[in-house]
Structure 1
Amino acid sequence: MTHINILDPGASPLDYYGFELRRHRESAGLTQRQLGDIVNYTGSLVGQIETARKLPTPEFSERVDAALGTGGLLSRLVGLVMRSQLPAWFQQVAELEARAVEICTFQTHMVHGLLQTGAYVRAVLGTMDQNDLDDRTAVRLARQRIFEKSEPPVLWMVLSEAALRQEIGDPETMCGQLEHLLHFESNPRLNIQVLPFSAGAHAGLQGSFTIFRFASDPDIVYTEGYGSGHPTANPDTVKDCSLRYDHLRAAALSLGDSAELIRRVMEERYAEQRDNDGDPVA
């Protein structure tokens, strides 16, 4: 007789998801293989998700919700599941991202995670650790679903020119990442300004930081170190970083000029490299 792993739905969001998936599948009188055939996934994958050995994706959740008539239960749960898989020290930050009405971030050397492409994420996360890279990439990308809400947050990102020129991954990865940034050029909720090298000394020399603003709660400033995050609502820190951010935005290029610089770096630095390697130019 096949041993069936019985999950404790209270153990974790992933266990709860698997428990509910199995419960609804069995209520529908379907085997794992039959459900897999309906939603175009393997029965083995269905089984791995039911036993909390594999992370569900938003796409999987949407298909199963439709197939089993769950009223969107799994799609609502998947965000919680993904957030629970983030490093423990970062989970609070993901909650801040999900609750904020405005996110203002200054990034010194790479694109913020909320605007990273899948290939860029893999290059960043895989630098020192290739373990579970697919799942870790999916977890980071899932944070971007906050922009799919009926009232998504407004994001302002001041990005150092160094982040455009620091090659993370290969030229194709960078081409794709910079092209992705250009997709937001006409979106008033996703605003990207580049702080050019010509700005010289600036208010962000101490490093990257993010300010979260909320509808009714105090602002929170977040800074990050190796394997640790530091959110604070200290009024003096918030006041100082808010002033710094205003100065950074003033020193940065306009939205239009920033897009032009991103486009120029993409075409001259990364598309040219791809062409020299014999690959298609982006």
Structure 2
Amino acid sequence: MTHINVLDPGASPLDYYGFELRRHREAAGLTQRQLGDIVNYTGSLVGQIETARKVPTPEFSERVDAALGTGGLLSRLVDLVMRSQVPAWFQQVAELEARAVEICTFQTHMVHGLLQTDAYVRAVLGTLDPTDLDDRTAVRLARQRIFEKEKPPVFWAVLSEGALHQEIGGRQTMHGQLDHLLALETNPRINVQVLPYSVGAHPGLTGAFTLFRFTKDPAILYTERYGSGHPTANPESVSDCSLRYDHLRAAALSLKDSAELIRRVMEERYGEQRDTDDKPVA
């Protein structure tokens, strides 16, 4: 267990966050329990974050900033903390997401992480490995804060229809996930298209991929395998997948028709089921 008196603020972003939290709390003359009462968290959680044993959330950071009058320090630090907590092989991709002006992704069997709900994330990350699930879920969801920036990236997602039918986390989780996709319909910077089964053979059969585009830097292609990611700026690879993406987007349903299909699958496959007496069943 890390002892608070030997916490090294230079050891990691998480340690630095804990150091600053403790420094500002003590400057305000508050115990961990008193601060916890003010921000509606337990004193134990405050202590765990101060000793770098627990990852802070954006909500926690905002509440503590307001309570301690830190001028938004912790809210600025939490983004750095979250990016440092993603798996080592994914950290470069998290940086790409944060810098990109446009992100184009094709997904074959599940919803992209930037569009996932809390319950969906837990179901995905909890498969085979339920350890530290709260922290790992918070870290993945924090990536979605890129959409809260003053100039968020334009995000295009082409989802295979199979992603709508792959029941991850159960019917309730899937209903919530598809409902979340529908809620994004009014956001012009987040666009979701569905590639229907009826398309048949298509340019994305070899697997999922993501393209990151930037204001000045070359575009990056990202592909992924078990426990490893592969970003590349190779012009031929980027050009090839850019062409594939154009064809996938052209073959996919329109934004409106995609939303209608998502809604239909949500209601028919994951809606409330009823027995023969018209009574709802679990």
Contact 2:272 2:280 in 1 (8 A): no
Give a deviation string over 1:242-281, Cα, whole Å, max 9, x none. 00000000100000000000000111111144x459458x
The separation in 2 between residues aligned to 1:279 and 1:81, in whole angstroms, is 43
Alignment partner of 2:6: what SS?
coil
Determine the structure 2 residue equivalent to 1:11: 11
Given that 2:272 and 2:281 are in contact with CA atoms closer than 8 Å, whether structure 1 keeps it comes out as no
**Cα drift, residue 35 of structure 1:** 1.1
Does the CA contact (< 8 Å) of 1:111 and 1:163 recur in 2? Answer: yes
1:248 maps to what in 2?
248
Given that 1:101 and 1:153 are in contact with CA atoms closer than 8 Å, whether structure 2 keeps it comes out as yes
Give the secondary-structure state (helix, strand or coil) at the position aligned to 2:155.
strand
Higher mean displacement: 78-87 or 32-41: 32-41
- Structure 1: where are the runs of 5+ without partners? none
SS state at 2:137 partner: helix
State the distance in 1 between where 2:215 and 2:95 align. 14
Query: What is the SS of the residue equivalent to 1:258?
Result: helix
Distance between the aligned counterparts of 1:62 and 1:50, measured in 2?
16
Unmatched 5+ stretches in structure 2: none
1:189 aligned residue: 189
1:154 paired with 2:154, answer yes
Distance 1:94 1:139 in 2: 11
Contact 1:212 1:220 in 2 (8 A): yes
**Partner residue of 2:224?**
224
Secondary structure of the residue that 1:183 maps to in structure 2? helix
State the one-letter code of the partner of 2:268: E
- CA shift for structure 1 position 28: 1.2
Q: Could you tell me how far apart the structure 2 residues matched to 1:106 and 1:200 are?
A: 16
* Offset of residue 173 of structure 1: 0.4
2:179 pairs with 1:179: yes
- The aligned amino acid for 2:28 is A
For 2:257, the equivalent position in structure 1 comes to 257
Q: Deviations over 1:171-207 (max 9, x none)?
A: 0000000000000112110000000000010010110
- The SS at the match of 1:236 is helix
State the Cα deviation string for residues 49-87 of structure 1 (Å, max 9, x = none): 100111111111011111111110000000111111110
The separation in 2 between residues aligned to 1:40 and 1:266, in whole angstroms, is: 35
Task: Name the SS for the 1:185 alignment partner.
Answer: helix
Runs (4+) of structure 1 exceeding 3 A deviation are 275-280
Give a deviation string over 1:144-195, Cα, whole Å, max 9, x none. Answer: 0000001000000000000001111110000000000000112110000000
Q: CA deviation at 1:6?
A: 2.6
* Whole-angstrom CA distance in 1 between matches of 2:136 and 2:113: 12
CA distance in 2, matches of 1:41, 1:118: 19
Q: Distance in 2 between matches of 1:279 and 1:110?
A: 26
Aligned partner of 2:167: which letter?
A: E
> What's the C-alpha RMSD, in Å, of the aligned pairs?
1.3
Aligned to 2:79: 79
Taking only the aligned residue pairs, the percentage that are identical comes to 83
CA contact (8 A) 1:5 1:51 kept: no
Distance 1:18 1:264 in 2: 46
Q: Is the 8 A contact 2:157 2:193 kept in 1?
A: yes
Match of 1:210 in 2: 210
Contact 2:4 2:50 in 1 (8 A): no
TM-score normalised by L of structure 1:
0.96
| TM-score (ref. length: structure 2) | 0.96
Structure 1 contact 106–159 (Cα < 8 Å) conserved: yes
Amino acid at match of 1:148: E
The aligned amino acid for 2:188 is P
Find the aligned partners of 1:33 and 1:8 in 2 and give their Cα distance: 23
Does residue 128 of structure 2 align to residue 125 of structure 1?
Answer: no
Q: Which residue of 2 aligns with 1:26?
A: 26
Q: Distance in 1 between matches of 2:4 and 2:169?
A: 41
